[in-house]
Amino acid sequence: MLTLFKKIFTWWNQDTIGTKIKTVFFGKFVGKDSFGNKYYESKKGKRWVIYSNEVDASKIPVEWYSWIHFTPNKIEKTHEFKKYSWQKNHQSNLTGTDKAYYPNKNNDSDKKKYKVWKN
């Protein structure tokens, strides 16, 4: 019962009932990315994504980012993105997590690279 209540009234736990109904009646499935996110488009041209897990806009990979924002490029036609050996896989925003980057993360001491002038 609580899961149904969450599905009806909360949008941050994936798609709501309203989004699901709109997707069934008006959405045309366009594709799916490597994270399991599903992309849809209406007949009028509106585009949306249904996330596989937690809703976070930074979880859209580069090959779908341009499509969702109506930015034309050569990837949009096939949604196949050729990655080179030196490129890293897409990673969502890690701010606020244990894996977030900040300088001197592994260095316990506060070493400064400069000296303060004294009078």
pLDDT value of position 112: 64
Judge whether residue 110 has pLDDT over 80.
no
- Residues 108, 62: Cα–Cα separation, whole Å: 36
pLDDT value of position 76: 57
Q: What is the dihedral of CA 90, 96, 97, 102, to 10 degrees?
A: 80
User: Smallest Cα–Cα separation from 22: which of 54, 55, 44, 52?
Assistant: 44
The pTM score is: 0.61
2: helix, strand or coil: helix
